[in-house]
């Protein structure tokens, strides 16, 4: 074979990043070198056999090597699963099953994480297949196991166990550390870190807000990535990141969806409205009523016709004052409607975030509608839309 000097094509470099993404740092370099050598050798062989363009040779070599996600999942299964089983403690069985699925054992790259919800102040419920909690069982339903609990979870929202968070971060080769004060720090292989918390102990296991995990993974993902993060699903929110799907098993509890999309909406306000400035602002997302200077205001229900498909999720953002925003999320129905409740009675939908704020002379509050599912989250602006009817008046109040 004629010796040919080749350099990796950009596509080949992206492929290697992708294929090694889910690995511990120590293994990442080793697997990168091995696959790089394979690609260079095969591309040189193809060139020697008559393919003149190096890009074409690399493309063929990449096609032969197959999906980088499959390599990543396969390697993750080799190097990450035993470590995670040790980390997971009582959650080991559920996690190994989840990672088995991730490694392609059940045909998909999906990591399903069980979410703990609180339907009442004294009850906590988790999917039946999640790790058991050291709490008295209150009831067993078809898919849900509920415990009696005196732990106050108000303010935490739906919860994920620390083991589940470690599993999700581990898929991307990252680590989770618990700092003093029960604050979590997530670090990904590129060195990016994000902190959050605090944790809460329930049934002898540490838990943290489920919405926080999605926020961290989205925040730490490289902004110029060729595979930007994508969210989908309302009752069962899914985050697709580098061909791996992180799915929250919520038992279709819409409160989880509201928390997840509320967290995303804050990012949207920060990037689209505040232009990533450090301005300190407040957010409100209550469902039924809001407290104003004039006391409590019952929300008005708005029904907006969209051209979106069933199941897409729409965010509504309106500005109360210069530093206070109201946020709502809703799921599109089969016939394209989305219902959103807001403290503002009359709305005018705008296409530019800069138009939010001042109420017009006709009493209409400007509001932004953003489709946030199945679009790249690093291009949220592309999701802004104005429905055919650009204003909305409240529906009649529900009969008691």
Partner 1 sequence: MNPDLLRGNLDLILLTILEHTPLYGFAIIQEARERTDGYFQFKEGSLYPALHRLEQDGLLATQLGEVGRNGKPRKYYAITDAGRQTLTAKRAEFASFTGAVGQLGRS
Residues of this chain that interact with partner 1 (CB under 8 A) are 6, 19, 30-31, 33-38, 40-42, 44, 64-68, 70-71, 74-75, 77-79
Output 41 or 310, the one with its CB closest to partner 1: 41
Output 43 or 220, the one with its CB closest to partner 1: 43
Closest distance between partner 1 and the C-beta of residue 351, in Å?
Answer: 44
Output 101 or 239, the one with its CB closest to partner 1: 101
CA distance 57 to 62: 9
Closest distance between partner 1 and the C-beta of residue 75, in Å?
Answer: 5
Helix axes 162-171, 210-220, angle to 10 degrees: 20
Helix axes 254-268, 210-220, angle to 10 degrees: 30
Output 80 or 199, the one with its CB closest to partner 1: 80
Output 67 or 285, the one with its CB closest to partner 1: 67
In the block, which residue shows the tokens 């990672």? 99
Closest distance between partner 1 and the C-beta of residue 98, in Å?
Answer: 18
Per-residue buried b or exposed e for 272-283, using 16+ beta carbons within 10 Å of the residue's own CB: bbbeeeeeebee
What residues contact 195, with CB distance under 8 A and at least 6 apart?
179, 183, 184, 185, 186
Closest distance between partner 1 and the C-beta of residue 113, in Å?
Answer: 23
158 to 125, 215, 216: CA distances (angstroms): 10, 14, 16
Closest distance between partner 1 and the C-beta of residue 106, in Å?
Answer: 15
CA distance 17 to 363: 52
232 to 20, 62, 77, 239: CA distances (angstroms): 25, 29, 25, 7
Output 44 or 163, the one with its CB closest to partner 1: 44
Output 244 or 375, the one with its CB closest to partner 1: 244
Per-residue buried b or exposed e for 186-221, using 16+ beta carbons within 10 Å of the residue's own CB: bbbbeeeebebbebbebbebbbbbbbbbbbbbbebb
Closest distance between partner 1 and the C-beta of residue 212, in Å?
Answer: 31
Q: Of 329, 213, 219, 208, which is closest to residue 267 (Cα–Cα)?
A: 219
Closest distance between partner 1 and the C-beta of residue 265, in Å?
Answer: 38
Per-residue buried b or exposed e for 249-265, using 16+ beta carbons within 10 Å of the residue's own CB: bbbebeebbbbbbbbbb
Q: Which two tokens stand for residue 105?
A: 């054992």
Closest distance between partner 1 and the C-beta of residue 348, in Å?
Answer: 52
Closest distance between partner 1 and the C-beta of residue 306, in Å?
Answer: 40
Output 38 or 177, the one with its CB closest to partner 1: 38
Output 68 or 215, the one with its CB closest to partner 1: 68
Cβ atoms 307, 265 nearer than 8 A? no
- Three-state SS at 52: coil
CA distance 38 to 12: 11
């Amino acid at each position: 074979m004629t010796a040919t000097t080749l350099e990796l094509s950009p596509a080949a470099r992206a492929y290697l990043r992708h294929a090694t993404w889910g690995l511990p740092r120590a293994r990442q370099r080793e697997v990168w070198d091995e696959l790089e050598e394979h690609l260079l050798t095969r591309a040189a062989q193809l060139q020697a056999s008559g393919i003149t363009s190096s890009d074409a040779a690399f493309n063929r070599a990449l096609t032969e090597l197959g999906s980088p996600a499959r390599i990543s999942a396969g390697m993750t299964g080799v190097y990450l699963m035993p470590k995670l089983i040790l980390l997971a403690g009582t959650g080991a069985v559920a996690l190994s099953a989840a990672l088995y699925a991730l490694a392609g054992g059940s045909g998909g790259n999906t990591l399903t994480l069980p979410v703990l919800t609180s339907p009442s102040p004294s009850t906590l419920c988790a999917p039946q297949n999640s790790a058991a909690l050291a709490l008295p069982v209150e009831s067993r339903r078809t898919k849900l196991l509920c415990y009696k609990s005196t732990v106050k979870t108000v303010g935490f929202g739906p919860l994920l166990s620390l083991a589940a968070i470690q599993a999700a971060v581990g898929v991307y080769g990252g680590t989770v550390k618990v700092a003093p004060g029960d604050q979590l720090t997530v670090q990904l292989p590129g060195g990016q870190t994000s902190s959050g918390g605090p944790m809460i102990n329930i049934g002898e296991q540490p838990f943290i807000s489920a919405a926080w995990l999605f926020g961290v993974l989205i925040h730490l993902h490289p902004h110029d990535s060729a595979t930007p993060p994508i969210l989908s699903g309302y009752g069962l929110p899914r985050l697709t990141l580098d061909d791996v799907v992180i799915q929250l098993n919520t038992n279709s509890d819409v409160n989880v969806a509201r928390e997840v999309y509320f967290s995303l909406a804050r990012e949207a306000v920060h990037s689209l409205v505040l232009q990533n400035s450090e301005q300190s602002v407040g957010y409100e997302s209550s469902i039924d009523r809001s407290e104003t200077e004039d006391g409590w205001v019952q929300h008005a229900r708005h029904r907006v016709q969209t051209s979106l498909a069933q199941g897409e999720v729409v965010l509504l953002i309106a500005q109360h004052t210069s530093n206070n925003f109201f946020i709502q999320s809703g799921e599109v129905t089969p016939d394209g409607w989305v219902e959103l409740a807001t403290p503002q009675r009359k709305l005018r939908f705008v296409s530019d975030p800069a138009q939010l704020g001042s109420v017009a002379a006709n009493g209409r509050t400007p509001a932004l509608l953003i489709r946030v599912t199945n679009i790249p989250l690093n291009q949220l602006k592309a999701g802004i839309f104005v429905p055919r009817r650009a204003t909305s008046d409240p529906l009649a109040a529900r009969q008691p």
